[in-house]
Amino acid sequence: MPVHDDLSAPEVIADPYPYFHQLRAEDPVHWNPKWGGWILTRYDDVQWAFQDRRLSADRMTPFMRGLPPHEAEELRPSFDIFSRWMVFTDPPTHTRLRMLVNKAFTPRRVEGLRSRIQAIVDELLDALSDRRQIELIRDFAYILPVTVIAELLGVPPHDRELIKRCSDEITLFIFGAIGVEDRRQRAQHALLELVAYLRGIIEARRRAPRDDLISALLAAKERDDLLSEEEIIATCVLILFGGHETTTNLISSSVLALLRHPDQMRLLRDNPQLITTAVEEFLRYDGPSKAMVRFALEDCELRGKQIRAGQRLLLVQSAANRDPEQFPDPDRLDITRQPNPHVAFGYGIHFCLGAPLARLETQIAINTILRRLPGLRLATEHLEWHPTIVSRALTALPVAF
């Protein structure tokens, strides 16, 4: 076993890949006592776990059941929202929720946003043009996705700050930041603030529909009553939340990957048409979602290990994406890699709704940065990652140009 069999050890947070390589080689279906669940690190096992219907995506019910009664009661309002997130539901509820919004996020629909995304990227970079050093996340990578997703939903641009603040707090709940006291209470406070805000927008769109996603969801509700008002709200919160943090992290980890591989940076700068395979490689190499959790509904067996009903599993996407049986030379960044069947967006029925949007935003962001900031370089050697088990997120990325 690894010296530190600990998902949240500082060295594993800083660089999780050696730990995952060791697990995959020595014990690919590993019971981790500290985390209290099975850790899956092989590509084929992770893919299996994303698909097997004996494993449930409902992480909220077991979580609530595990709380002391008074705390469960206190967190009921959060639970009422999160339990309606499609990402935490199984079929048939999942199918209904997903089918209703899927149309708005298809590759073709998203392609229609290209010129608007390019314009936002250009505006953001224009505003930085007289600077020589920036913090790429705060000054750019944070703002782009939240601006795009707010526009798509139909949330006025000046309320971006509220959304950003609330979803930072919600992150504490969902991604389980380590070492933050009162995180659930804080998250609940922010969540309810966001819900109240969205109710106002929904009311306004009901009276005067516009060409935005909230109006489309309301129309779907009117038309065939397939969606309750609470589900509309939960879905909006999910899309706002899912739609920016992760994309922010992908943009920053992509820039970092290029800064640390100057040959690949040169290759992409000279051949911007490589951006499609490049972004797939950034997702594989150091994607924003390290792992996803599932709960066993029934006993199942995997590689001779007995997984019992009620136990949880950590599907380590970062490990699957560097499985040498699937990806030749997996620790090498190769922006021309093809095929590249990474699982950075998940796999199976919960495959990321926003994947086409995240792809397009990141493609445009990276190519525009390379074109407009030719002298781009790291302005520090001290980088830190947020101490969470399931996401891979830089705290800051200072760059100079």
Partner 1 sequence: MRRLRISVDRAKCVASTLCVHTAPAVFALDATGKSSVVNPAGDTEEHILAAAEGCPVSAIVVEDADTGERLFP
Closest CA to 255 of 80, 129, 397, 50: 397
Minimum distance of partner 1 from residue 20's CB (angstroms): 22
Where are the strands (E) in 73-184, listed by range?
133-135
Task: Characterize the bridge pairing of strands 305-307 and 29-32.
Answer: unpaired
Q: Taking the complex as a whole, how short is the minimal distance between the CB of residue 345 and partner 1, in angstroms?
A: 8
CA separation for the pair 375, 123 (Å, rounded): 19
239 lines the binding site for ligand HEM (CB under 6 A): yes
Distance CA 317, CA 279 (A): 16
Minimum distance, C-beta of residue 342 to partner 1, in the bound complex (Å):
10
294 backbone dihedrals φ, ψ, rounded to 5°: -135, 155
- Shortest Å, Cβ 246 to partner 1: 15
According to DSSP, the residues that pair with 101 across neighbouring strands are none
Residues in 290-329 at the binding interface with ligand HEM, rule: CB under 6 A: 292
Q: What distance in Å separates the CA atoms of residue 188 and residue 1, rounded to the nearest whole number?
A: 38
Q: How far apart are CA 358 and CA 135, in angstroms?
A: 21
Write out the two tokens for 67.
Answer: 């709380």
Six token digits for residue 7: 């998902």
Cβ proximity to partner 1: between 18 and 351 the closer is: 351
Among positions 289, 321, 326, 367, the unique one binding ligand HEM when judged by CB under 6 A:
289
The contact set with partner 1 (CB under 8 A) reads 50-51, 95, 98-99, 102-103, 105-108, 339, 341, 345, 347-349, 351-353, 355-356
By C-alpha distance, which of 358, 376, 401, 374 is closest to 117? 358
Which region, judged by CB under 6 A, interacts with ligand HEM, from 28-36, 226-234, 339-347, 392-400? 339-347
Closest CB 158 distance from ligand HEM, rounded Å: 21
Strands 133-135 vs 398-400: parallel, antiparallel or unpaired = antiparallel
Q: What ranges make up the beta strands (E) of 136-243?
A: none
Count of residues that bind ligand HEM according to CB under 6 A: 26
Task: Pick the closer one to partner 1 by CB: 25 or 351.
Answer: 351
250 binds, among ligand HEM, partner 1, none (CB under 5 to 8 A by kind): ligand HEM
Residues between 170 and 189 that touch ligand HEM (CB under 6 A)? none
CA dihedral sign, ordered 317, 319, 325, 327? positive
Contact between 83 and ligand HEM by CB under 6 A: the answer reads no
- Binding mask of the shown chain, residues 29 to 58, with x at each position contacting ligand HEM by CB under 6 A: ----------------------------x-
Can you tell me which of 160, 337, 350, 392 binds ligand HEM, judged by CB under 6 A? Answer: 350
Q: How far is the CB of 320 from ligand HEM (least distance, A)?
A: 11
Classify residue 308 by its DSSP letter: P
| CB of 353 vs partner 1, minimal distance in Å | 7
Q: How far apart are CA 120 and CA 355, in angstroms?
A: 19
Q: Cβ closer to ligand HEM: 12 or 292?
A: 292
Residue with tokens 């819900």: 195
Look at residue 339 and give the partner it binds from ligand HEM, partner 1, none, a contact being a CB closer than 5 to 8 Å depending on partner kind. partner 1
Determine the residue type at 257: A
Minimum distance, C-beta of residue 13 to ligand HEM, in the bound complex (Å): 18
Tell me which of 28, 37, 176, 287 binds ligand HEM, using CB under 6 A: 287
Q: How far apart are CA 355 and CA 344, in angstroms?
A: 10
Task: Please tell me the distance from the alpha carbon of residue 94 to that of residue 349, in angstroms, as a whole number.
Answer: 8
Q: Nearest Cα to 147, choosing from 127, 174, 176, 172?
A: 127
218 vs 349, beta carbon nearer partner 1: 349
Closest approach, Cβ 220 to partner 1, in A, equals 15
Query: DSSP assignment, residue 159?
Result: G
149 or 217: CB nearest ligand HEM: 149
Residues that bind ligand HEM (CB under 6 A): 57, 86-87, 98, 105, 149, 238-239, 242-243, 246-247, 250, 287-289, 292, 344-346, 350, 352-354, 357-358
